[in-house]
Structure 1
Amino acid sequence: MKTSPIRYRIECANPEAHLFHITQTIPEPSKSGQRLSLPAWIPGSYLIREFARHIVRIDASVNGKPVPLTKLDKHTWLVAPTKGVLTVTYEVYAFDLSVRGAYFDQTRAFFNGTSVFLCVEGQEHTPCEVEIVPPEGKAYKSWRVATALRPQGAKRYGFGTYEAADYDELIDHPVEISDFTLVSFKACGVPHDFVLSGRHDADMKRLAKDIKKICEYQIKLFGEPAPFDRYVFMTMLTGDGYGGLEHRASTALMAARADMPIAGDDGQSAGYRQFLGLVSHEYFHSWNVKRIKPQVFAPYNLAQEGYTRLLWAMEGVTSYYDDLVLLRAGVITEAQYLELVAKTVTGVMRGAGRLKQNLEESSFDAWVKYYRQDENSPNSLVSYYTKGSMMALALDLTIRDKSSGQKSLDDVMRALWQLYLTRGEGIGEAEWEHVACEITGLDLKPFFDHALRSTGDLPLPALLKKFGVQMTMRAAESGGDKGGSPSTKSDETLAKRPVLGARSSTEQGFAKLTHVLDDGAAQAAGLSAGDLIVAVEGLKVSGNLDALIERRQVGDKVTIHAFRRDELMSFTVKLRAPAPDTCVLQLDDKPGKAQLAARHAWLSGRTN
């Protein structure tokens, strides 16, 4: 007997008030009373976000007659026992300009299912249908629909009805609705759509050309066929946006419009490289995390946190491959790749948190630390993205070195993919390491114990040297120096630049300390994050804090006046020398034959 689908009708009802109107039809509600709930978080973003707080009105009825609806907790409702088809109507406030929630105004509509579709508890495996209804008015006549949901009567890019096999599939296909720009291409025979929303002058052909290379390399890395029949990139452009969230056959992205390539310009800006890295990262998640995932995510429990110590494998390994794929796909050069890696290393080395939190702890505490960062975060945590990517680099080089070039991290990822295809379920907390040891034939336990369960620095300088790459650490040239490039100044000169040991932003025309770093001059003097610096040695600070400090000498004592709350306070700060925390990676000019071969194999993705 065929099961009647649960139906949703989502109307772009009121752009001025940012309201979606949803009508949910449940053919066979539970006889004992139907529970309805909205997820508390969205997969890929590990923070309880309480999406139900955006439901502003909700009612239930049968045959047009009201049915009692009781709220049980922050995101769950109970409909009184009833007979007949249950209809639930509700409104969702949508004004979250991000990739995680829902947004609706006169320029575009966007939603993730986790923000707008109530789950019918006990019927999670029932097929679902969703009818997407456009806003009324001539201003919206050119709007279209972009989604990887399967059309069920609707035309491609059109309004109408779409279908999903179950609730899990329904909420894993975001929807973009606007007068977007579209370019399509095929990667390994699979149709791909790239959608841009927001004002732009982007070169769509250039985007399609570069992104196709990225997609084809990744599909071939894991092995054809791709795990989807069609893929959709949805990108919202703003003045300074950045971010992405992966889904099983699509991704939602945000980027700065200035980072997009323009027609007639064959150059490649740093912003465009960063965007391509984001595209590569989210696409790689199609395999690594959407399918190769921890057991706790199979299935997801979206009502509460899902703790795992494996986010270093899901996000860190993906972060290693995102830029490496750009190189292997021929989108960036070796020098550009090494610069990107060096900037990642620099970011990690500048945080004292790496000495206090290991990668397993970072993964486990994502819910309460990484996604809830504060003024002390650089001193207390390490990112499983950035430190995780360094770990993956070290692991790849270790495997290649110890196997004499016969194996690599690529082999581990392909083995994990085959394990997923065989079992179709998540992996245990220790299973990732077991697979790595088994597929490479190496005893990697000492490596994992150090890299994942200690706070010691990774042996990257020695490993990279075996592959003909020199890693050096120098002091930063300025507060804006992110590393990656050699300095034109000598190490001696750089070491003489005095530093405060704090990060700042401009507020009310003064410098506001955003972070005070461990063991720095500012911390030793008693300055705190949030202090508003008004003067250094009697001179007004107006966004030029670093410049005033750098006119002094290491060891100088300077008087700093600052407001903390509404109190003016005075601090005597003894300026310190900068730490050698800025990384530079360069190809060895005269590598040995073995080093040259190993480097070529690593950067090109080959083994012996």
Structure 2
Amino acid sequence: MKINILSLLFIAISISLQSQTNRYTISFENAVHHEAEITASFPQLDQGVLSVRMGRSSPGRYALHEFAKNVYNFKATDSQGKPLGIHRPNPYQWDISGHDGEVKISYTLFANRGDGTYAQIDETHAHLNIPATFMYVTHLEDRKIEVDFRVREDLNWKVATQMPKLMGNTYTAPNLQYFMDSPTEISNYGLRQFTVDNNGQQQNIQFVLHHNGTEAELDTYFEQVKKVVLAEKEVFGELPNYDYGTYTFLACYIPNASGDGMEHRNSTILTDREGLAEGGMKNNIGTVAHEFFHGWNVERIRPQALEPFNFAEANMSGELWFAEGFTSYYTNFILCRAGIITPKEYVEGLTGTFNYVWNSPARQFFNPIEMSYQAPFVDASTSVDPVNRDNTFISYYSYGSVLGLALDLSLRQNKLNLDDYMKLVWQTYGKKEIPYTLSDLRKTLVQYAGKEFGNRFFDQYIHNSEMPNYEELFNSVGVVLKRATDKPYFGASVNINQFGVGIVQRNTTIGSPAYTAGLDNGDVITAINNIPLTTNQSFGELIAQFKVGESVQVAYTRFGIPKSTTVVLSADPTYTIELMEENGGKVSKQLLKNRKDWLKVE
């Protein structure tokens, strides 16, 4: 019999590659108590110590979360089952010595938070964020990975993930980065899907929903999802080419979940306590729009600072005002374009975010880049010491959103628009998967809108903290920005409790009447102008009885010591945003046309 040397070589290479695959199993026998049992094998190792780690951060999150705190019952053996030496050099690492070229580990994981960062295991589902679930070995990051999900068949569980299926309930990832970026929902979920033509290629869009509602509710909701997908495709002119031809929404709208949304390369996690019949039909679709937009902006149009993602450290980027903020601008914008909310609802919905950014004293401390740098301290991070973020921080989501709005309306005054700028960034960087820098965003805006326009936008609003002329910009599309200057403003959030005293709820705003008068978080207000506060009284309604510029005497206690001060009420700094016709004005045909071109609605 003839031996084909090339065939033997191919078989040998295949066997070698297969033996260099890291394999995991996970089972859920004790799901009722939120536990999973996990094993992993790492074959063909060099001699020496093998360092196995639990992640400290997760794709799409920028703060540290220390997932090792939920791991226990850790064991390690060699290929023959011999127990190996284990040393813990730090809280998130296990150093294993004495192996024979292969290490097998096992451990128990406790998991009971269903959101985009953590994992949750109970008898309703196994909701797995991979860095919160599986240990890894840093220097083996290029190896292929296989994971066998041993589902609870008695609970009718099935697996949904962006990882391709190998066989049965075994799924695979080409490397560690893809594996860690592949959240997995295991439950008795419902599934809807449709295909989208994308430059001649068919892309499959799947919507997985674990909920307690009806099939009819899922059908209705999925129609909204389809509208969102198509409206966002129109912004960029095409969908991304998903790695395995499919994008999967992994939604859990159940009472035991926590509200969240988290983007991934070919999927997203969507969680909320509200079911579709309990408000979720309306309230959850915005998260769908936000996270799907990330399939372009942050997953592929990606800041260089986030490449490669570091699972062992906090991940910081100065471009989150663009990655998260511009995505936030498009969130409700897309819902309006898709006909899910009305132009009136969209425009009036801008009010809260606008006032938050416009009236924040934080702009004197940080520009949008530096606000983005704060992400490791605010992005679902926790701390026990009080901070002054009420005065020093503006969310990069909100800051970037109002700047995206300003950029869009400014471009439209020059017969340009933000959609086409985003398309250019996509074609230049995202589609080619070239990570961008801050200077790349500036350079692309200069290329699109001209040197003077592009440099002015970045110099004034990104590198500095100036605010655009929103009144003029809104007027250009028949929208009115108006401030109620006759309404008095105290400058502190005060809640009157059942004992008839007003508690200052948070740090008073720098420059506000309460701040200037020396009131601070935790102060207990007992009387205004010598009249004691009473229960069932609204502090806001009490202050509304006075006039702008009027002085009020405030009696309060701090640490039990009686004090008093004088607060000079200023004019309420907040604005309303309304369609011009809703405010009693007449809208010209040109302004109506501008608005329709902007919102893409009739």
Residue number in structure 2 paired with 1:358: 367
Corresponding residue to 2:162 among 148, 162, 171: 148
Q: Does 1:513 align with 2:504?
A: yes
Q: How does 1:154-553 map to 2 (within 5 A)?
A: 154=168, 160-188=169-197, 189-200=202-213, 203-228=217-242, 229-238=245-254, 241-257=258-274, 260=276, 272-368=281-377, 376-402=388-414, 405=415, 407-420=416-429, 423-443=432-452, 444-474=454-484, 492=486, 495=487, 497=488, 499-504=489-494, 512-515=503-506, 516-532=508-524, 537-541=531-535, 544-551=538-545
Q: Which residue of 2 aligns with 1:482?
A: none
**CA 1:552–1:596: 2 relative to 1, 3 Å:** closer
Query: Structure 1, residues 53-74: CA drift from partner, whole Å, max 9, x if none?
Result: 2212322101111111222223
Task: Name the structure 2 match of 1:487.
Answer: none
1:273 Cα deviation after fit: 4.5
Counterpart of 1:113 in structure 2 is: 130
Measured in 2, the distance between the counterparts of 1:279 and 1:511 equals 39
Which digits, 9 at most, give the CA deviation of each residue in 1:551-574, with x for residues without a partner? 55553534444464xx35443352
Give the aligned partner of residue 116 of structure 2.
Answer: 99
**How far off is 1:288 after superposition?**
0.6
Displacement of 1:148 after TM fit?
2.1
CA contact (8 A) 1:187 1:212 kept: no
**Mapped pair 1:130 → 2:122:** no
Residue 572 of structure 1: which of 565, 577, 585 is its match?
565
Contact 1:30 / 1:81 at 8 angstroms: preserved in 2? no
TM-score (norm 2): 0.86
Inter-CA distance 94–450: structure 2 relative to 1 (3 Å threshold): same
1:367 aligns to what SS in structure 2?
helix
- Tell me, in whole angstroms, the C-alpha distance in 2 between the residues paired with 1:319 and 1:170: 27
Q: Which residue number in structure 2 is paired with residue 50 of structure 1?
A: 66
The Cα of 1:507 is off from its aligned counterpart by 7.0
RMSD: 2.8
**Letter in structure 2 aligned against 1:55:** V
CA contact (8 A) 1:471 1:586 kept: no
* Counterpart contact for 1:461–1:471, Cα < 8 Å: yes
| 3-state SS, counterpart of residue 32 of structure 1 | coil
Question: Is 2:45 aligned against 1:29?
Answer: yes
- Given that 1:511 and 1:542 are in contact with CA atoms closer than 8 Å, whether structure 2 keeps it comes out as no
2:5 aligns to what? none
d(CA) in 2 for partners of 1:507 and 1:24? 54
Shift of 1:52: 1.7
Q: Which of the two has higher C-alpha Rg? A: 2
Secondary structure of the equivalent of 1:59? strand
Query: In 1, Cα distance between the equivalents of 2:495 and 2:141?
Result: 47
Segments of 5+ residues of structure 2 without an aligned counterpart are 1-12
Q: Percent identity?
A: 27
Segment drifting more, 502-511 vs 40-49: 502-511
Q: Supply the distance in 2 between the matched residues of 1:180 and 1:193 (Cα, whole angstroms).
A: 12
- C-alpha change, 1:179 and 1:514, in structure 2 (3 Å) is farther
CA drift of 1:276 comes to 1.9
1:597 to 580, 587, 593: 593
1:545 to 1:372, Cα distance in 2 relative to 1, 3 A: farther
Seen in structure 2, the aligned counterparts of structure 1 residues 445 and 463 have a Cα distance that, compared at 3 Å, is same
Query: Is the counterpart of residue 83 in structure 1 residue 83 in structure 2?
Result: no
Shift of the 15–571 alpha-carbon distance from structure 1 to 2, 3 Å rule, reads: farther
Local SS of the residue matching 2:377: coil
TM-score by length of 1: 0.85
The change in CA–CA distance for 1:76 and 1:582 in structure 2 (over 3 A counts) is: same
Bigger shift: 348-357 or 20-29?
348-357
Deviates more, 1:141-150 or 1:590-599: 590-599
In structure 1, distance between residues paired with 2:335 and 2:58: 28
The answer to whether the 8 A contact 2:502-2:533 is kept is: no
Q: Displacement, 1:389?
A: 0.9
Contact 1:185 1:191 in 2 (8 A): yes
Q: 1:131 offset after TM fit, Å?
A: 0.8
Q: Secondary structure at the match of 2:349?
A: helix
Structure 1: any 5+ residue segments left out of the alignment?
A: 155-159, 263-268, 475-490
Letter in 2 for 1:529: N
1:543–1:194: structure 2 CA closer, same or farther, 3 Å change rule? farther
Give the Cα–Cα distance (whole angstroms) in 1 for the partners of residues 537 and 148 of structure 2.
Answer: 52
Return the offset for 1:242.
3.0
- Structure 1 residue 408 displacement after superposition: 2.0
